[in-house]
Amino acid sequence: VTISMDDELPTQPIIQRALQLGKQVFVPKTYADYSMEFFNLDSQTKIQKTKFGVWEPAAVDPLSKSGADLTIVPALAIAADTHQRLGFGAGYYDRYLAAHPATTSVTLALPVVQLASATWHYQPWDYAIDYIITAE
């Protein structure tokens, strides 16, 4: 799960509850080559703000190459019919999900970002999300 920015759905309650339940929580760190790794988040994890204003862990111990059981994927918009997601434009999650097909992908969609169908162009490499969770 990402550490949400001010204008995104707050993920801190999700992170706190997962940790209370004894779950391992991993947050992404992105690199200049458009790759992404997930790192364990606990009370010892140092978090830093990137030049884009995104909170990421300082590199420590990445998640195994097999990936996570569940990946909560951010979205600017999500299509209810095809589950196509409009991301932030760099393709980090598309690449990660394509490389880790065993992970279940979920988007938490506020009503304003869920559309009946995609109103944007998407490419074959744009990865559709498995599940959309809304307030309904």
What is the token pair recorded at 19? 């940790």
Confirm whether 1 is domain-assigned: no
Does the global pTM surpass 0.85?
A: no
Domain-located, residue 90: yes
Query: For residue 71, is it within any domain?
Result: yes
Domain count, the chain: 1
What CATH number is associated with residue 89? 3.40.50.10420
Exposure letters 102-116 (e unless 16+ CB within 10 A, then b)? ebebbbbbeeebbbe
Strand pairing class (85-86; 77-79):
antiparallel
Domain that holds residue 93: 12-133
Per-residue pLDDT tens for 80-132? Answer: 999 999 988 888 899 888 888 888 999 888 888 888 999 898 888 888 999 99
